[in-house]
Chain A
Amino acid sequence: MANEVDKKEIVEKHRHRLYKYLREEVLPTAFCPGCGCGIVLNCFAHAVDELQIDPKDMVAVTGIGCSSWIPSPYLLVDTLHTTHGRPIPFATGVKVANPDKTVVVIAGDGDLIGIGGNHLIHAARRNIDIKVFLVNNLIYGMTGGQVAPTTPSGIPTATSPYGNLEHPFEIAELVAAAGATYVTRWTTYHVFPLMESMQKALTKKGFSFIEIRSPCPTSYGRKIDQKRGSDTMLEYKESSVRIQDAAKMSSEELNGKIIIGKFVDKDKDEFTDNLRKLNQKVRNEKIGRDPEEWSLS
């Protein structure tokens, strides 16, 4: 065992390993104790570090909500913090203008499938090479716990005080149906597969999507007797069913379960590639308006 002095040196050397990806001046994070956002940030920093992606080659785009704080301001990369629900179209513009950068969207369920739902399915349809990590805490957390398109039926929330009358989206399935080429669902309990999935998403070309179930003890967990983030994560551990196993189960057996794993991993032509190919073709073939024919004089 190293003595005290050596220990300090070792720790100093190791402390920087992940801090190089964080804006240290704004730490500690503003997240509540037990919030899953910090876990997602942690997994993401680990994933980027293991892949040795240069932060200069990344752009993080985010919306409005607690999980939007994961990149903004905590990640030390070029960061674009946009209007509520719109990180995906902003990211589309960023990616088209900077096709060589890894463009990542990290935001919440209210932002990406609520107000921003339309953009999510269109980007999946387009198969544009952006990586979207949707942090799903089943509630509008930042504004105090109003019912969300992801809140399970019957749950009392700030705006469904008598119980939620609606049904939630199955987001991973929806995005898969929209045409995404890589879709997984994990939880903040499943940190190792989550991190690996992030690595796959970061390196695969095409619209890559991860739905990450994440605890919100303050605005959601409290309402369902899961006062600590840890309690919600225990539920993740106990209620998760791998997709391979879920395929053999009935819908009754799957009631209340979280299906985790890989939904889609396929290849399709990518949007910005197609744009570039079009430009080359058009310029090589010189199709276009002929001023001779078109002009008056």
Chain B
Amino acid sequence: MRNKNNIDSEYLNRFAGRSYFMQGDEAIAYGSLYAGCDFFAGYPITPASEIAEVMAAELPHVDGYYIQMEDELASLSAVIGAVWGGAKGMTATSGPGFSLMQENIGYALMTETPCVIVNVQRSGPSTGQATKPAQGDVMQARWGTHGDHEIIALSPNSVQECFELGIEAFNLAEEYRTPVIILMDGEVGHMREKITMPLLDTLNIRERRLAEDDELIFGGELIPPMAEFGQGRFIHITGSTHKETGIRDVETQETHEILVSRLCKKIKDNQDKISRYEEIYMEDAEVVVISYGATSRPAKGAILRARNEGKKIGMLRLVTIWPFPEHKLTELGNEVKKIIVPEMNLGQLSREIERFVNCEVISVPKIGGIAHTIDEIYSAIIKEV
């Protein structure tokens, strides 16, 4: 199905080299189109509907397809089906839809289906504050689906970064043959900023690695090559525990152990490679603020103010939340006195940080749908230095 005759680059290059004023949601959509996404199936939900709307308008131009499915379960189902048909597929939702998608996220993990799921987080639990942002799905992104697994989740903090991570998510999905979650928050999703779209050939777009001849597609190496329908391979894809050929085998203990361990190892062994973060004023920092997404903007403002007053404060902004940068944090925990974690939740990432550091971890939660202000984070920091 993949569009191989460059119609997409002709269309997309028309946008290149110019700046636009757009929402984070829109930027994710354009980033995905640049990455070669040619299939989107989704269901409307605030604050992610704009992603679907842009994809509905733009996919026909790149000979891609938009389907509005009857619910979020069907949305991710259709994406996975299309991916095995050769497409680069994505869906977008928010908390309640993300909860519905968990079973199929597990299916994508178990079948090693590369796809992108955008969760524009809103205030929960349940229907919560539908139109207000939050960062409450951090742990759900990690553990929402049942069973042992690893996951990749990215967190943009600007509209330009939404565009870039839109592309990065697809690249990571293809490289590690895994679903990738873009864990945005409604603040970044709905804010408008200036972005520039580049020329397509300045970008590094990773194409799918397809199996040749008799290569196994569910084993044989840490990250096996993929296959597509219609190649005459008569592939067998199942969410049940399976052998390297793809045929179900739930009886043998070793088969399950080998499979699930490899699926986890794929990400764990490469966590340093996958993990991305930004360091600001870290060189001599005694106290560090760790933040991500929308919170990182006022957090940066707060540490700049503190620095101006001569305080030795730094900031680590996580761009990948999962896999968690364990080694970086372990190192950091030995270097600094305190870690301050402002989050738009009741302290989800701070728990993860505590696992790896010996120093004090101070959670600065804020829920209710309003992002931290610079003053709030500054007050929290200034007490600790």
Contact = CB atoms under 8 A, between A and B. Distances in A.
Direct contact of A and B (CB under 8 A): yes
Interface of A: 23, 26, 55-57, 59, 61, 72-73, 76-83, 85-86, 88-98, 101, 118-119, 122, 275, 278-279, 282-283, 288-289, 291, 294-297
B60 to A, nearest CB: 4
Contact of B67 (A80, A88, A92, A294): A92
Contacts of A82: 77, 80-81, 107, 239
A185 B73 CA distance: 28
B208 to A, nearest CB: 13
Interface string B132-166: 00000000000000000000000000000000000
B194 interface: yes
A96 B82 CA distance: 7
Contacts of A78: 229-230, 233-235
B194 A296 contact: yes
A88 B79 CA distance: 12
Q: Mostly helix, strand, loop or mixed at chain B's interface?
A: mixed
Chain B interface residue number, banded: 35 or more
A4 to B, nearest CB: 35
Give the one of A26, A82, A101 with max B CB within 10 A: A82
Contacts of B233: 78
Given A56-B232, A282-B61, A295 B103 contact: no
B302 interface: no
A6 to B, nearest CB: 33
16 contacts: A23-B236, A72-B238, A73-B248, A80-B84, A81-B236, A82-B239, A89-B74, A93-B41, A96-B78, A97-B86, A101-B85, A118-B70, A283-B61, A289-B57, A291-B15, A296-B21
A279 B20 CA distance: 25
Contacts of A282: 60-61
B74 A119 contact: yes
A282 B61 CA distance: 6
Interface of B: 1, 7, 11, 14-15, 18-21, 39, 41, 57-58, 60-61, 63, 65, 67, 69-71, 73-75, 77-87, 89, 103-104, 107, 194, 229-230, 232-240, 247-248
Contacts of A59: 85, 229-230
B56 to A, nearest CB: 10
B77 A93 contact: yes
B103 A83 contact: yes
A288 B239 CA distance: 40
A282 B59 CA distance: 10
A86 B236 CA distance: 17
A119 B104 CA distance: 15
Nearest to B86: A97
A30 B248 CA distance: 13
A59 to B, nearest CB: 5
A89 B65 contact: no
Contact of B239 (A55, A73, A81, A92): A81
Nearest to B7: A283
B33 to A, nearest CB: 12
Contacts of B18: 291, 295-297
Given A73-B248, A86-B77, A79 B234 contact: yes
Given A73-B247, A92-B78, A101-B230, A295 B19 contact: yes
